[in-house]
């Protein structure tokens, strides 16, 4: 069946709880899990970083996800208007609207680089298919990746394709194909990652990889690392960027926000950890650098595919699945902007898609060029891509999450949250409220101040 149906009020609605879980999981599971999680884990020293990340998911991320879905569903509006209308209902300042706005803008900025990285994945479908991975050496794999980065036209072509495909799907409105795509995507992706983990076990460095991932060495943890872990918890769960709030606004009244949030959180975390377990043993087996940066999976995985039986086939399938996973996330990133343009500015769906697609394509040029022509043009010591990544994941998302938590637990009436979450006044509700009232706001402020060097813990 289709994942969303139009209701009488001409508002989309997911056809079932499962449809929502699939769409939300499709949004959550993406480049963040398979591309970003391994490389930032490598850059930030492994185990201790992963532990902080897991704590952020459990104590902050999942409760904030519940809050966002609740806000979206209660208001039945796009993020900016949802925040505004609930603020007015609670007789609070309508400027809460700007939090919704910040999310939509954050999603747009993320998308401008997300489509470029997705383009790398699409490009690698063809590289894999050409047989180029067979018996590739680590040096050759590095050169192959470097060659792609050095070619702005090639990067731009693939990212343009990603933008067009994404906008085409969003432009068709009701995401009929989305649920079907996610239906086979999640199991398929999981099977392929398990195959990679199987290969990792055969390298003789599996234990080393798993230890890197799970054995915490807190001396390697910097204050900046903690901020990166926190930011990534938001990024990977698609929070503070309009996506989950918008999807939540399509959620039927009778589905459990708590259960669905937990399901999405678990799936997302499992995929990330498995990706790490596939990649780090390969890193150590071939003497590569865990902190190699954004190219990590594009250098390690081809080596693995080049060695394993049916490697060319698995390589094609893997990068294809990764591309599709990236596109289902990209769809959720642009949906808030499109829903605002159509609902508020009376744009036709087509016009909204063309406008936003063009905007993010232009912004994407900055990321394309930051890997070659503009490589040495830096602001605050960061390339355009680094700056976008830092601005969104490490500043806007934690800030947005902070505001959402305060809004959900201090501004909105407690009764509203009780009704929406369906937990009554039980212990679980108290735990959620505690997380939103104290844990999340205080935690985020401390992490910020710490990273800025204002305080030092």
Please report how close the Cβ of residue 274 comes to Na ion at its closest, in angstroms: 12
32 or 336: whose CB is closer to Na ion? 32
Please report how close the Cβ of residue 99 comes to ligand PFF at its closest, in angstroms: 14
Contact region with Na ion (CB under 5 A), list: 171-179, 181-189, 262-270, 374-382: 262-270
Residue 156 sits in the site that holds ligand PFF (CB under 6 A): no
Please report how close the Cβ of residue 75 comes to ligand PFF at its closest, in angstroms: 18
In the shown chain, the binding pattern of residues 19 to 48 toward Na ion, with x for contact by CB under 5 A and - for none, equals: ---------x---xx---------------
Residue 235 sits in the site that holds ligand PFF (CB under 6 A): yes
Please report how close the Cβ of residue 306 comes to ligand PFF at its closest, in angstroms: 26
Residue 335 sits in the site that holds Na ion (CB under 5 A): no
Contact region with ligand PFF (CB under 6 A), list: 8-16, 29-37, 351-359, 363-371: 29-37
Strand 4-6 with 12-14, pairing? antiparallel
For the chain, give the number of residues.
Answer: 457
- List 127, 236, 255, 433, residue binding Na ion (CB under 5 A): 236
Residue 30 sits in the site that holds ligand PFF (CB under 6 A): yes
65 or 67: whose CB is closer to Na ion? 65
Query: Choosing among Na ion, ligand PFF, none, which partner's interface includes residue 304 (Cβ < 5 to 8 Å by kind)?
Result: none
Residue 67 sits in the site that holds ligand PFF (CB under 6 A): no
For residue 69, which of 254, 233, 232, 258 has the smallest C-alpha distance? 258
Residue 268 sits in the site that holds Na ion (CB under 5 A): yes
Residue 339 sits in the site that holds ligand PFF (CB under 6 A): no
Is residue 14 a contact partner of residue 175, using CB atoms and an 8 Å limit?
Answer: no
Residue 110 sits in the site that holds ligand PFF (CB under 6 A): yes
- List 236, 307, 370, 394, residue binding ligand PFF (CB under 6 A): 236
Residue corresponding to tokens 């890193």: 283
Query: Choosing among Na ion, ligand PFF, none, which partner's interface includes residue 333 (Cβ < 5 to 8 Å by kind)?
Result: ligand PFF
Query: Choosing among ligand PFF, Na ion, none, which partner's interface includes residue 110 (Cβ < 5 to 8 Å by kind)?
Result: ligand PFF
Residue 243 sits in the site that holds ligand PFF (CB under 6 A): yes
Query: Choosing among Na ion, ligand PFF, none, which partner's interface includes residue 241 (Cβ < 5 to 8 Å by kind)?
Result: ligand PFF
236 or 339: whose CB is closer to Na ion? 236
Please report how close the Cβ of residue 114 comes to ligand PFF at its closest, in angstroms: 7
Residues 124 and 142: their CA atoms lie apart, in Å, by: 13
57 or 226: whose CB is closer to ligand PFF? 57
- List 28, 197, 402, 447, residue binding ligand PFF (CB under 6 A): 28
Residue 115 sits in the site that holds ligand PFF (CB under 6 A): no
For residue 21, which of 330, 261, 268 has the smallest C-alpha distance? 261
Residue corresponding to tokens 């952020």: 56
Residues 457 and 451: their CA atoms lie apart, in Å, by: 10
* Binding residues vs ligand PFF (CB under 6 A): 27-28, 30-33, 107, 110, 235-236, 238, 241, 243, 329, 332-333
* Binding residues vs Na ion (CB under 5 A): 28, 32-33, 236, 268
């Amino acid at each position: 069946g289709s994942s969303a149906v139009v209701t009488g009020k001409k508002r989309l609605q997911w056809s079932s709880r499962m449809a929502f879980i699939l769409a939300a999981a499709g949004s959550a599971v993406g480049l963040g899990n398979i591309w970003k999680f391994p490389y930032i884990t490598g850059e930030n020293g492994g185990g201790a970083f992963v532990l902080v990340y897991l704590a952020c998911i459990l104590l902050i991320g999942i409760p904030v996800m519940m809050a966002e879905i609740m806000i979206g569903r209660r208001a039945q509006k796009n993020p900016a208007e949802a925040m505004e209308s609930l603020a007015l209902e609670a007789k609070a300042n309508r400027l809460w609207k700007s939090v919704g706005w910040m999310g939509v803008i954050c999603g747009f900025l993320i998308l401008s680089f997300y489509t470029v990285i997705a383009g790398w994945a699409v490009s690698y479908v063809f590289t894999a298919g050409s047989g180029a991975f067979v018996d590739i050496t680590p040096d050759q794999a590095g050169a192959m990746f470097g060659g792609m980065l050095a070619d702005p036209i090639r990067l731009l072509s693939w990212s343009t394709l990603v933008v067009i495909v994404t906008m085409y799907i969003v432009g068709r409105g009701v995401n009929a194909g989305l649920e079907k795509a996610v239906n086979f995507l999640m199991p398929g992706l999981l099977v392929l990652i398990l195959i990679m983990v199987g290969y990792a076990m055969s390298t003789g460095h599996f234990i080393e990889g798993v230890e890197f991932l799970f054995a915490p060495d807190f001396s390697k943890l910097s204050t900046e690392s903690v901020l990166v872990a926190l930011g990534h918890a938001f990024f990977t769960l698609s929070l503070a960027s309009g996506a989950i709030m918008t999807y939540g606004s399509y959620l039927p009244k009778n589905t459990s926000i708590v259960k669905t949030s937990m399901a999405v959180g678990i799936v997302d975390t499992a995929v990330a950890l498995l990706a790490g377990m596939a990649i780090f043993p390969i890193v150590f087996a071939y003497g590569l650098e865990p902190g190699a940066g954004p190219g990590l999976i594009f250098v390690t995985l081809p080596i693995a595919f080049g060695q394993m039986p049916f490697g060319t086939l698995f390589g094609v399938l893997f990068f294809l699945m990764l591309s599709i996973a990236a596109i289902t996330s990209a769809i959720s990133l642009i949906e808030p902007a499109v829903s605002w343009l159509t609902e508020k500015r009376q744009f036709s769906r087509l016009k909204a898609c063309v406008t936003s697609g063009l905007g993010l394509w232009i912004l994407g040029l900055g990321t394309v060029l930051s890997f070659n022509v503009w490589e040495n043009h830096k602001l605050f010591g960061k390339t355009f891509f680094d700056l976008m990544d830092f601005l969104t994941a490490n500043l806007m998302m934690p800030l947005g999450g902070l505001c959402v938590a305060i809004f959900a637990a201090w501004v909105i009436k407690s009764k509203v949250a009780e009704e929406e979450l369906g937990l009554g006044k039980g212990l679980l509700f108290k735990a959620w409220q505690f997380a939103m009232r104290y844990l999340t706001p205080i935690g985020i402020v401390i992490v910020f101040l710490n990273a800025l060097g204002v305080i030092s813990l």
